[in-house]
Structure 1
């Protein structure tokens, strides 16, 4: 092998190692709950450092749901046990409405009560469907035996 080829191979290997360490660092950062908002049985949790994968998001919820219930009284189900929890990336923080594509929290009595619409995860419970998880890449159902299966709607099956 010539010297030029060895240098290119070394550089590629170094870039791959740095990328792997960066990914490991990103995935090991703890999730930070910045704020919680409620509207009836709907809850909104603003987060930083949320897991990237569907499996990571669901695993994080299952691991932390009791702590969230104890610390924030979420979920807050209605009489038929239905609830909805939406996790939003906090991003650059609260902003004024200014543009149409922001989600605003009516429980905040200030002009800066909106965030960019960047939903990363949701957990819903209903009498008919039970616990459902919604991510960028799909919808998952928590079966009564604890198994998590990806939900395929009838329109997707065609």
Structure 2
């Protein structure tokens, strides 16, 4: 009967493979964390109707604090470049910020009535049919009577100055 004897020379190979696997895993996790948390938000499109404004943003921050910080850092840019917000005569204004992460789509060709099942979950940013998004509301921002701003993220209302 032939006996196969294991030697210690195979152990370093297993250890080397394990170290390589751990290194690759750590590298992949680092890349994913970097991509998820350090990506730069980008304003993709805006639209305005009276004192109601819509803003499509790519790469919005994930956290509530990150979204509030995005608003505080970009409110000047929105006003300067897009005239957003545009207050009504009484001073009220409203901004809806939409996630454009999955990109723009064409408006469906079929029934385009307001309550059509094909279009009710879409918002379009131009009269062109190629600037439509599936509705994914990130936050609503509006002014309040005390001169501050209310930000609604999910079911939370946050007041900021």
Once the two structures are superposed, residues 27-72 of structure 1 have per-residue CA deviations (whole angstroms, 9 ceiling, x without a partner) of 2222111110011111001111111111111111101111111000
Would the aligned equivalents of 2:104 and 2:130 in 1 still touch at CA under 8 Å? no
TM-score, normalised by the number of residues in structure 1: 0.72
- Give the Cα separation in 2 of the matches to 1:103 and 1:115: 5
- Give the Cα separation in 2 of the matches to 1:24 and 1:113: 29
Among 81, 105, 108, which residue is 1:94 paired with? Answer: 105
Would the aligned equivalents of 2:54 and 2:96 in 1 still touch at CA under 8 Å? yes
- Give the Cα separation in 2 of the matches to 1:118 and 1:92: 11
Greater percentage in strand: 1
Rate the CA distance shift 1:55–1:139 in 2: closer, same or farther, 3 A: same
- Give the Cα separation in 2 of the matches to 1:129 and 1:7: 62
Q: Matches of residues 50-129 of structure 1 in structure 2 within 5 Å?
A: 50-90=60-100, 91-97=102-108, 99-105=118-124, 108-112=126-130, 114-127=132-145
- Give the Cα separation in 2 of the matches to 1:84 and 1:12: 49
TM-score, normalised by the number of residues in structure 2: 0.71
- Structure 1 residue runs without a partner (length 5+): 147-158
Bigger mean CA offset, 85-94 vs 41-50: 85-94
Rate the CA distance shift 1:104–1:59 in 2: closer, same or farther, 3 A: closer
Would the aligned equivalents of 1:103 and 1:115 in 2 still touch at CA under 8 Å? yes
Root-mean-square deviation over aligned CA pairs: 2.8
- Give the Cα separation in 1 of the matches to 2:87 and 2:148: 12
Query: Paired residues, what number?
Result: 141
Displacement of 1:20 in angstroms is 3.2
